[in-house]
Chains A and B, each alone.
Chain A
Amino acid sequence: MIASSPPKTFILKIKRSLGEGKPSHWESFEVPIRPSMNIISALQYVAANPVTTDGKNVEPVVWDAGCLEEVCGACTMVINGHVRQSCSCLVAENLQDGNTITLEPMSKFPVVRDLWVDRQRMFDNLKKIHGWVPIDGTHDLGAGPTETQEEQEQRYAYSRCMTCGCCLEACPQFTKDNDFKGAQVFAQIEYFNSHATGKELAAERLDVIMEPGGITDCGNSQNCVKVCPKELPLLDAIASLGRKTTVHAVKRFFSGKK
């Protein structure tokens, strides 16, 4: 038996386009493998050597990145058909058919160019759900309520969200042209509604997710929790909001408000 030595180069197959709605096509690049190489460093190589496997000189591939340590979410893309951060994706562990890795932009957000997408919808949704703690006022509001260690720990889990969009990309109910808000925002509602001061806007937040595109449009496929790189307890958030909106709806009915 001959031990197969690790390949010296690999093929990066990239789905490219000039923007949303423009035609897309695939281009392949041969990239030398370096130890502990990740997708971003492979893309950097392609940027410096934008020559396809059939020898064509092309414009460098566009992508987005920030922190390079899986905390900003900017580099999220679909790698081998699966959404994840490209900065924390190691080449050696993800070669398919021996030597290929495919990269596509996320399919649920408008493409800016090549692998770079516009995640604005998530930030707009954070505004819609009042994703903040209301402490602005014309006078001194005094010290805030104290939070127990336990409450802080529970909320810490939700605070880890980096608005990357993985949960939305993998969600069968979230599409480019519908208004479903998705797990990212549900988690943040749970986050702010469990904060002693943030609670003040709890009813408004629940109202927002009882409209079309709200919590009831979740189909319980539970993909979101599987793909979330920050391991947010998204199932807890979704089910808990199911309960809170049920109660809120009954209260709304009998109080005559809304």
Chain B
Amino acid sequence: MSATPTAAPPQLSLIERHHFLLRRLHSLSGIVPVGLFVIFHLFTNAQMIWPDAGATFQHEVDFIHSMPALLFIEISLWVGIGFHAALGLVYTFTGQGNVKNYSYSANLRYTLQRITGILALIFIFFHIATLRWRWDFFGWFTPFYGQLKIDGSYGKGVPMSMPLTAYALQYSWIVVLFYVIGVASVVYHWANGLWTAAISWGLTITPKAQQRWGAVCLLLFIALTAFWGAAIYGALAYSYQEMTTDQKIVFMEVIPDGREVLIDHGVEVPSEAEAERRQMEYAASHGGS
């Protein structure tokens, strides 16, 4: 046994030793998979702008749901955003924003990057909780299903993407405001993040290059803003009158007071007997379920 005391080198913890890697991964996880997904997602949603009763939009949604390795894509999104958001919160709260005394535009963007990160997190949570997990927040219930069976149960059958998205948005002006702020935050955060990432990784190493790349990021920001603007416009412009009879039946099954909602909008609704007849017909031709 050696008794000579040796000056211990400063011990770095596991996290500290991988500090560089973790921060590079944080940057990467903002760009792909999450950021890339956001682009596709917003592009898909922009299809709601076409005045075709949601056919194009439905086609896109069906395409996504038919993609191979969907579970893999979804898991990588969850891991990516979870990791990015957790570290992002740590970075946000260990910095000392000082935009009040140093109100330069880059510093403003630094502060906005942190604020929009938090807004994005809040927005994404409610967005997924309501549309995907079908949580009901004090009556704010806006379920989303790509397709549903005619009796309102889960399964392929009646295309419901457009009517249910429209219902979610037309629910209240507060929802619209919430979406506008939330999506604008995400889009800003991503576009500005692409700009800073190019500095972090050392792609744009002169102020001139940073300026040029900044113009590209700005264009991207404008394009994405146009996409989600189109989506929200499409969802608000959609009229329940455009629904097929089957869509109306499903709508009345899944939305609380669905029948009243439709009648309030002056939609001609099938009678309960008619609805039941169609549902029975469907069950018979599909061997019941």
Q: Return the CB mask of B196-215 against A: 1 if under 8 Å, else 0.
A: 10011111111100100000
A244 vs B207: C-alpha distance in the bound complex, in angstroms? 17
Chain A residue nearest in CB terms to B98 = A172
A214 touches B202 (CB 8 A): no
Counting chain A CB atoms within 10 Å of each CB, the highest count among B12, B95, B106, B204 belongs to B95
A247 vs B205: C-alpha distance in the bound complex, in angstroms? 14
Assuming A220-B199, A243-B203, is B107 touching A172 (CB within 8 A)? Answer: yes
B199 touches A249 (CB 8 A): no
Within 8 A of A (CB), among B154-213: 196, 199-207, 210
With both chains docked as a complex, state the minimum distance between the C-beta of B83 and any C-beta of chain A, in angstroms. Answer: 15
Counting chain B CB atoms within 10 Å of each CB, the highest count among A212, A221, A226, A236 belongs to A221
Count A-B pairs with CB separation below 8 Å. Answer: 103
A246 vs B205: C-alpha distance in the bound complex, in angstroms? 13
B102 touches A170 (CB 8 A): yes
Within 8 A of B (CB), among A73-112: 81-82
A233 vs B208: C-alpha distance in the bound complex, in angstroms? 12
Is residue A240 within 8 Å, beta carbon to beta carbon, of the partner chain? yes
One of B19, B109, B199, B207 near A212 (C-beta < 8 A):
B19
Is residue B138 within 8 Å, beta carbon to beta carbon, of the partner chain? no
A219 touches B24 (CB 8 A): no
Is residue A228 within 8 Å, beta carbon to beta carbon, of the partner chain? no
Q: Return the CB mask of B101-136 against A: 1 if under 8 Å, else 0.
A: 110101101110100000000000000000000000
Is residue A201 within 8 Å, beta carbon to beta carbon, of the partner chain? no
Chain A residue nearest in CB terms to B206 = A236
A235 touches B20 (CB 8 A): no
B201 touches A172 (CB 8 A): no
Q: Return the CB mask of B82-94 against A: 1 if under 8 Å, else 0.
A: 0000000001001
Chain A residue total in the interface (Cβ 8 A):
35
Q: Which residues of A contact B19 (CB under 8 A)?
A: 210-212, 214, 216
Counting chain B CB atoms within 10 Å of each CB, the highest count among A218, A223, A239, A249 belongs to A239
Within 8 A of B (CB), among A134-153: none
One of B12, B23, B107, B207 near A235 (C-beta < 8 A):
B207
With both chains docked as a complex, state the minimum distance between the C-beta of B200 and any C-beta of chain A, in angstroms. Answer: 5
Interface SS, B side: helix
Within 8 A of B (CB), among A224-240: 226-227, 233, 235-236, 238-240
With both chains docked as a complex, state the minimum distance between the C-beta of B36 and any C-beta of chain A, in angstroms. Answer: 20
Q: Which residues of B contact A238 (CB under 8 A)?
A: 199
One of B20, B97, B109, B204 near A239 (C-beta < 8 A):
B204
One of A212, A219, A226, A235 near B104 (C-beta < 8 A):
A226
One of B98, B104, B111 near A222 (C-beta < 8 A):
B104
One of A214, A221, A236, A242 near B207 (C-beta < 8 A):
A236
A129 vs B207: C-alpha distance in the bound complex, in angstroms? 25
One of A219, A223, A242, A249 near B21 (C-beta < 8 A):
A249
A81 vs B102: C-alpha distance in the bound complex, in angstroms? 9
Is residue A14 within 8 Å, beta carbon to beta carbon, of the partner chain? no
Chain A residue nearest in CB terms to B110 = A221
B110 touches A220 (CB 8 A): yes
A219 vs B12: C-alpha distance in the bound complex, in angstroms? 23
A217 touches B110 (CB 8 A): no
Is residue B96 within 8 Å, beta carbon to beta carbon, of the partner chain? yes
Chain A residue nearest in CB terms to B204 = A239
Is residue A173 within 8 Å, beta carbon to beta carbon, of the partner chain? yes
A242 vs B205: C-alpha distance in the bound complex, in angstroms? 8
Is residue A178 within 8 Å, beta carbon to beta carbon, of the partner chain? yes
Q: Which residues of A contact B97 (CB under 8 A)?
A: 172
Complex A-B: 26 CB contacts under 8 Å: A170-B98, A172-B111, A173-B95, A175-B96, A210-B20, A211-B20, A212-B16, A214-B19, A214-B20, A216-B19, A216-B23, A218-B200, A219-B113, A220-B106, A220-B199, A221-B109, A221-B110, A226-B104, A226-B107, A235-B206, A239-B199, A239-B204, A240-B202, A245-B202, A246-B202, A247-B202
- Further pairs besides A82-B102, A239-B205: 11, Cβ < 8 Å: A172-B96, A172-B98, A220-B106, A221-B110, A221-B111, A233-B207, A235-B199, A239-B204, A240-B205, A245-B202, A246-B201
User: Which B residues lie at the A interface, using CB under 8 A?
Assistant: 12, 16, 19-21, 23-24, 91, 94-98, 100-102, 104, 106-107, 109-111, 113, 196, 199-207, 210
Return the 10 tightest CB-CB contacts between A and B, nearest first: A243-B202, A221-B110, A242-B202, A216-B23, A222-B106, A239-B205, A210-B20, A220-B196, A81-B101, A212-B19
